[in-house]
Amino acid sequence: MRLPDKTGAIEGAIAAIPDGATIMLGGFGVPGTPFLMIQELVRQNKRDLTIIKNDANETGMGVDHLLVAGCVRRLITTHLGLNANAIRMMNEGTIEVEFCAQGMLAERIRAGGAGLKGFVTDIGIDTEMGRGKQRVEIGGEVAMIETALRADVALLHAAQADTFGNLRFAATARNFSPLMAMAADTVIVEAEEIVTLGTIAPEDVHTPGPFVDHVVHVPNLSEEYAVVRR
Amino acid sequence: MRLPDKTGAIEGAIAAIPDGATIMLGGFGVPGTPFLMIQELVRQNKRDLTIIKNDANETGMGVDHLLVAGCVRRLITTHLGLNANAIRMMNEGTIEVEFCAQGMLAERIRAGGAGLKGFVTDIGIDTEMGRGKQRVEIGGEVAMIETALRADVALLHAAQADTFGNLRFAATARNFSPLMAMAADTVIVEAEEIVTLGTIAPEDVHTPGPFVDHVVHVPNLSEEYAVVRR
Amino acid sequence: MSDAKSRMIARAARDIAPGMTVNLGIGLPTQVVNHLPGDFPVCLHTENGLTGIGPTLPHDRADRNLIDAGGAYVSTIPGSAFFDSATSFALVRSGRLDLTMLGAFEVAENGDLANWKIPGKFSPGAGGGMELAQKARRVAVLTTHTDRAGNPKLLTRCTLPLTAAGCVDRIFTDMAVIDVTPAGFALRELAQGVTIEDVKQATGAPLHIPSGAIPTF
Amino acid sequence: MSDAKSRMIARAARDIAPGMTVNLGIGLPTQVVNHLPGDFPVCLHTENGLTGIGPTLPHDRADRNLIDAGGAYVSTIPGSAFFDSATSFALVRSGRLDLTMLGAFEVAENGDLANWKIPGKFSPGAGGGMELAQKARRVAVLTTHTDRAGNPKLLTRCTLPLTAAGCVDRIFTDMAVIDVTPAGFALRELAQGVTIEDVKQATGAPLHIPSGAIPTF
């Protein structure tokens, strides 16, 4: 046996994403955000997207390009504090925003990726984040059901990928990416380095290749990857 | 800052486990089973234990020593097919056995480790494994609640640990261990090799040190670690 | 192994398409891999935490930490990955397993599968079989057409506790290839030397026979 | 920074015991680390996936992929570990976080905390604060005793949306160290030059004054 090759070009991989798609984007702040694939979404003028990402980056970078270009209908996120533009669009009603506690967003995505329907938790039960959520009793205690999240597509940035899609992430760029890799019908990864099969030792794989559909090479990173404006 | 040292001796770490404790044991078959700590449990004659482990190893090894010595009251497991002794004790009523589907056992342990109360799934819904489980409706579909599992103690075998308890597992010896490391109040790890802080690169850690309480060195493995009798 | 069994296994191997991720259950299904060409592009999964299973190894060359879910010493190939049991079943339940091939005690014409328990006789626990059966995108069963006593294993309804309901897509036996369809069992192929009547007689449920020639394997 | 604020931060640092795993929230709490001895045995956690946070780095020496949850460039120390966001919050929710120190808009005498939303003015989302507040074994708040307009932040009941109910154990302010007890706020220590009366006046809820001398920080 040999493992299949999943490498391809960024344009074609992104072209297959329809308008109206639900898209998970890796990244917490700058690290892990797939800036080049986001730019390609904007270039191909995708419309009516639901975006699932920890944050909306900052004004002028990443998710903000999608917002400004009018690609986004709905945003599921944990924090918009560094993007005044996103908060303005939310307040004006230009975009819908669903807020999750950060660990709840991570866990909802993981539940989708683990083929579960949801999970039972007491996080936020005494807060407005707990409103409207289905209650259940376990062992005499009342808790809430958080529903699993899945997406049509996940766009992820990896430090290293092999041709089968085994992935390694750098430092805190890992964050939501391994979870999103499990939770989308199609997973597209931009990798700074693409290596031959066997270069990544089996013990050192962060995301196993079977979760990944397409690997695109991004040898030349845009300025966004290193710039922090704060 | 520097990270605390958690290394110690096997006898003391095991001595703190009371009779009646619920103990998770890593391992799927031979790989990952903490045979030396199991032997120490037997030597210290712990009683009335609830053991959570994928399988009961084989007759004459690992969990079987605990069964033969009468240490076990209850076993939560997925498969006893290679231990005729365990099946006999179950049928005779000498031990209680609770069977889970394998991925459900893994996920219940992970849910405990993730501080969740449980999760919602349809696995086994049409089978006798689904009997007696609380039903809920999500998105118009009926599913079941599987409750989280936690333990007083997890006993794990690692290939490598640093003095803070960052762990690496070998090959398929990983299996349930990273999940159990999150799901027990006290986590004791026997490691074939103990290395200085910084030897394991931060990107290459399988289980982060904060989940681990005690690390004991087992430079001389017993015959059980390599013997397969089938 | 009988010639018929061996042809059944070889025939099952032809249902593995290039690029698939596949889990081959303990027993007969494990042997399907021996019938794949050496450079065939496929990813084999085992539920104890490995994708990219390489050849089985003799004990003296084995890595003591590297087994498959059946306990056999296996190896890695370039691109293999190890992961924990939760990730392993996440892969199964989230739809990333294109195909599983499993053994069976009984298969019903509605696709119900029983392969883990015989009350009072055999109850070792379900292991990972339930999730493979319920969640793999495609479930194939490899089994002798009848049990040792000659009783049919393909039935109108299962009598044993189910592994999963309505999960089986196709059955490979030493007599035939049979699909589970909305109308029940449908004959697709015949083993060499086996007649339609032979299969009908050995099957404990109605068997739909399509018009036209039935291919042989 | 005022001398009083700086002493508050130094005092908070003394509540970190050797061997703890600690999450220091964005803002004032982050600065607590500067008051720990260089070889102090503690593990700092940040919710974007790192245990063992090392010193912050200037931009020109930073690793672009290595930040804390506040976006600051940080570094590793020997024994650091990276992990994904689910594992990071598993650590928080499963009780492995011995202590978190958080900022506050309001704290109530029953331990309720509000620090994420001011309806109509500030609603950027809760980030990771809810789980830190609800699940860390011990929750300390660092805050100025009053807001910029001089209004008390320690109240009988919170008026803003809660981050978590009944979660706060101790409050460090520029005026005092106050514990949340079953009987409400209890004064433990006074900042230099601050009187009991000063604290009472600046607190929007009854303040229990223990008998005996009140230590100063």
In CATH terms, the superfamily for domain A14-99+150-214 is Glutaconate Coenzyme A-transferase (3.40.1080.10)
Assess whether pLDDT exceeds 60 at residue A230.
Answer: no
Residue-averaged pLDDT of chain C: 96
Is C199 within the bounds of a domain?
A: yes
Contact A5, A195 (CB under 8 A): no
Contact A174, D84 (CB under 8 A): yes
Confidence label for A227 from pLDDT (cuts 50, 70 and 90):
low
Q: What is the pLDDT of residues D49-101, one digit of tens each?
A: 999 999 999 988 999 999 999 999 999 999 999 999 999 999 999 999 999 99
Domain boundaries, chain B: 14-99+150-214
Mean pLDDT of the B187-213 span = 98
What is the per-residue pLDDT for B227? Answer: 55
Touching subunits for chain D (3+ Cβ pairs under 8 A): A, B
* Amino acid letter, residue D176: A
| Domain ranges, residue C119 | 3-208
Q: Which two tokens stand for residue A98?
A: 């669903």
Is C214 within the bounds of a domain?
A: no
d(CA D168, CA D99): 11
Q: How many CB pairs lie under 8 A apart between chains A and C?
A: 96
Is C216 within the bounds of a domain?
A: no
What is the per-residue pLDDT for A229? Answer: 43
Tell me how close the Cα of C184 comes to any Cα of chain B, in angstroms: 19
Residue with tokens 């009468």: B70
Q: Say yes or no for a CB contact (<8 Å) between B120 and A117.
A: yes
Contact of chains D and C by CB distance (3 or more pairs under 8 angstroms): no
Q: What is the pLDDT of residues D113-127, one digit of tens each?
A: 999 999 999 999 999
Assess whether pLDDT exceeds 60 at residue B230.
Answer: no
Contact B72, B45 (CB under 8 A): no
Is C215 within the bounds of a domain?
A: no
* Amino acid letter, residue B75: L
Distance of CA A10 to the CA centre of its chain: 17
What is the per-residue pLDDT for A226? Answer: 77
Q: What is the pLDDT of residues A23-52, one digit of tens each?
A: 999 999 999 999 999 999 999 999 999 999
Report the chain A residue with the minimal C-alpha distance to residue B147.
A138
**What are the residues whose beta carbons fall under 8 Å from the beta carbon of D110, sequence distance 6 or more?**
D157, D165, D166, D180, D184
* Amino acid letter, residue A174: R
Contact C44, C54 (CB under 8 A): no
Identify the H or E element spanning A167.
strand A167-168
Which of A133, A134, A167, A203 to mutate: most B Cβ within 10 Å? A203
Assess whether pLDDT exceeds 90 at residue B228.
Answer: no
Three-class DSSP labels, chain D: CCHHHHHHHHHHHCCCCCCCEEEECCCHHHHHHHHCCCCCECEEEECCCEEEEECCCCHHHCCCCCECCCCCECEEEEEEEECCHHHHHHHHHCCCCCEEEECCCEEECCCCEECCCECCCECCCCCCHHHHHHHCCCEEEECCCECCCCCECEECCCCCCCCECCCCCEEECCCEEEEEECCEEEEEEECCCCCHHHHHHHCECCEECCCCCCCEC
Residue C121 burial (CB count, 10 A) = 6
Confidence label for B6 from pLDDT (cuts 50, 70 and 90):
very high
Query: Which residues are A193's β-sheet partners?
Result: A160
What is the per-residue pLDDT for B198? Answer: 98
Cα–Cα–Cα angle for C194, C196, C197, nearest 5°?
Answer: 100
Contact D138, D92 (CB under 8 A): no
DSSP string computed for chain C: --HHHHHHHHHHHTT--TT-EEEE-TTGGGGGGGGS-TT-B-EEEETTTEEEEE----GGG--TT-B-TTS-B-EEEEEEEE--HHHHHHHHHTT---EEEE--SEEETTS-EE-S-BTTTB----TTHHHHHHHSSSEEEE--SB-TTS-BSEESS--SPPSBSS---EEE-SSEEEEEETTEEEEEEE-TT--HHHHHHH-BS-EE--SSPPPB-
The domain that holds C105 is classified in CATH as 3.40.1080.10
Residue A219 backbone dihedrals phi, psi, to 5 degrees:
-70, -25
Q: Say yes or no for a CB contact (<8 Å) between D123 and A87.
A: yes
Is D10 within the bounds of a domain?
A: yes
Residues in chain A: 230
For residue C87, list chain A residues with Cβ-Cβ distance below 8 A: 182, 208
DSSP string computed for A15-26: HTPPTT-EEEE-
Q: Say yes or no for a CB contact (<8 Å) between C43 and A3.
A: yes
Is C185 within the bounds of a domain?
A: yes
Give the pLDDT of chain C (217 residues) as one tens digit per residue.
Answer: 788 999 999 999 999 999 999 999 998 999 999 999 989 999 999 999 999 999 999 988 999 999 999 999 999 999 999 999 999 999 999 999 999 999 999 999 999 999 999 999 999 999 999 999 999 999 999 999 999 999 999 999 999 999 999 999 999 999 999 999 999 999 999 999 999 999 999 999 999 999 999 999 9
Mean pLDDT of the B150-178 span = 98
* Amino acid letter, residue C28: L
Contact D191, D217 (CB under 8 A): yes
d(CA D75, CA D50): 10
Mean pLDDT of the A131-145 span = 96
Distance of CA B65 to the CA centre of its chain: 16
Residue with tokens 């909306």: A56
Mean pLDDT of the B50-61 span = 97
Query: Which residues are D90's β-sheet partners?
Result: none
Contact A94, A69 (CB under 8 A): no
Nearest residue, CB atoms, A197 vs list C18, C78, C92: C78
Strands (E), chain B: 7-8, 22-25, 49-52, 72-77, 96-99, 118-121, 135-138, 141-147, 151-162, 167-168, 184-195, 214-217
Instruction: Determine which one of D47, D106, D109, D131 is catalytic.
Output: D47
What is the per-residue pLDDT for C38? Answer: 86
Residue D47: active-site member: yes
Residue-averaged pLDDT of chain D: 96
Is C203 within the bounds of a domain?
A: yes
Is C217 within the bounds of a domain?
A: no
Best CA proximity match to C103, nearest among C168, C165, C29: C29
Tell me how close the Cα of A5 comes to any Cα of chain D, in angstroms: 26
Beta-sheet pairing, D106-108 with D99-102: unpaired
- The number of distinct structural domains making up chain D is 1
Q: Say yes or no for a CB contact (<8 Å) between A164 and C36.
A: no
Assess whether pLDDT exceeds 70 at residue B229.
Answer: no
* Amino acid letter, residue C69: A
Report the chain B residue with the minimal C-alpha distance to residue D131.
B115
